[in-house]
A = this chain, B = another copy of it.
């Protein structure tokens, strides 16, 4: 049997007729990774037409989105062609060059979040300066272009310190913890624009996710704890265990205030350091975020639905917990390319765990899926999620081996 015998009509027009009286809203999402993939379910549910811009037809979201356009997000012609017929254009990543986003806006397209807000996710120096000027507490930082400047900054904050690429990093890429001047010199030699930051000795990392609509409605999810390793998110605990109510409310206020201050439309995730001296802002993302995957089952409104509501200026959904607690554990690729046979074991072992696979070929260290468990007891829920993710990733349920 040959799977290439698909009837040619499978290629019929997939865009809604703009003349139809019941034409659905059309949201164009630039990028076709797992965030766009997980947005498809929310769009389908609400009768929203989702179009994705993919680099290739086998990308995660392209596999499952009827209206997939192949194109290059660094090419204005492709972006303009993609945006034609969309009611709003949004993003699955922050790598579209700022001038191209501005050009889309200048051509009359609704781009949410807009170029001005998005600029702060593409320029860490501008983000730090802006947040500082607005009074939000961040790690101490300095723009550095030479060893003299790095050494001067180290005199203020000590070693180790953190060097960050001003733009382009995520999942720990573009971030270097330098124990001393030699390591800093190595990083400097790459020739990238950098900022230096104080190495923060935090108690734990938290994240606050908020939705904000163009009319200014805001909704904050419960604060979560995130557990990173090598700069990559491994686990998310929702809500953050043992977080005092006052600090949780402070983080939610902070998320909503930053979103309003920067004019964010859509989702804003703020990664926070929880320190003995209070909360510090680490990173920002203006899209669905790994720290919010638990919301698919664990919250009344998933982050993907909330992002769609927000960019379309629809009333926001309830961000309240749907379960007492939820734990999300990422599945990072291991040596074995075969997830399928391991999935059967996980399904049989825990019929209540929710597995999400992204349709991406397994490569070591790559996020290929995630697992969410939810329930009443945090330690049981966490154990279940970790065992399932560990087994998918490594073929062993010993989560101690996995982390």
Whether the pair A352, B320 counts as a contact (CB closer than 8 A) is yes
Whether the pair B66, A44 counts as a contact (CB closer than 8 A) is no
Q: Is the interface of A mostly helix, strand, loop or mixed?
A: loop
Shortest distance from the beta carbon of A45 to any chain B beta carbon, whole Å: 5
A200 at the interface (CB under 8 A from B): no
Chain B residues with CB under 8 Å of A16's CB are: 3
Shortest distance from the beta carbon of A211 to any chain B beta carbon, whole Å: 11
A37 at the interface (CB under 8 A from B): yes
Binds B, one of A20-28, A121-129, A277-285: A20-28
CB-CB contacts below 8 Å: A21-45 with B: 21-22, 24-26, 37-38, 40-41, 43-45
Whether the pair B84, A358 counts as a contact (CB closer than 8 A) is no
A18 at the interface (CB under 8 A from B): yes
Chain B residues with CB under 8 Å of A62's CB are: 66
Whether the pair A70, B318 counts as a contact (CB closer than 8 A) is no
Chain B residues with CB under 8 Å of A322's CB are: 297, 322-323, 374
In the docked arrangement, what's the CA distance between A43 and B369, Å?
14
Whether the pair A14, B347 counts as a contact (CB closer than 8 A) is no
CB-CB contacts below 8 Å: A319-365 with B: 320, 322-323, 337-340, 343-344, 347-348, 351-352, 354-359, 361-362
In the docked arrangement, what's the CA distance between A365 and B21, Å?
19
A156 at the interface (CB under 8 A from B): no
In the docked arrangement, what's the CA distance between A40 and B43, Å?
11
A295 at the interface (CB under 8 A from B): no
**Which B residue's beta carbon lies closest to that of A62?**
B66
In the docked arrangement, what's the CA distance between A322 and B296, Å?
13
A300 at the interface (CB under 8 A from B): yes
A157 at the interface (CB under 8 A from B): no
Whether the pair A351, B301 counts as a contact (CB closer than 8 A) is yes
Knowing A10-B14, A67-B10, A81-B7 touch, does A338 contact B2 (C-beta < 8 A)? no
Chain B residues with CB under 8 Å of A343's CB are: 46, 314
**Which B residue's beta carbon lies closest to that of A362?**
B22
In the docked arrangement, what's the CA distance between A7 and B11, Å?
12
Whether the pair A14, B6 counts as a contact (CB closer than 8 A) is yes
Whether the pair A13, B57 counts as a contact (CB closer than 8 A) is yes
Whether the pair B338, A22 counts as a contact (CB closer than 8 A) is yes
A139 at the interface (CB under 8 A from B): no
* Top 9 A-B pairs, shortest CB-CB distance: A3-B85, A47-B357, A11-B11, A9-B70, A41-B41, A315-B348, A315-B347, A12-B57, A318-B352
* Interface CB pairs A-B, < 8 A, 23: A1-B85, A3-B15, A3-B16, A6-B15, A7-B69, A7-B70, A7-B71, A10-B67, A10-B68, A12-B57, A12-B70, A22-B337, A22-B339, A22-B340, A24-B359, A41-B41, A41-B44, A46-B357, A47-B357, A47-B358, A49-B63, A316-B351, A320-B352
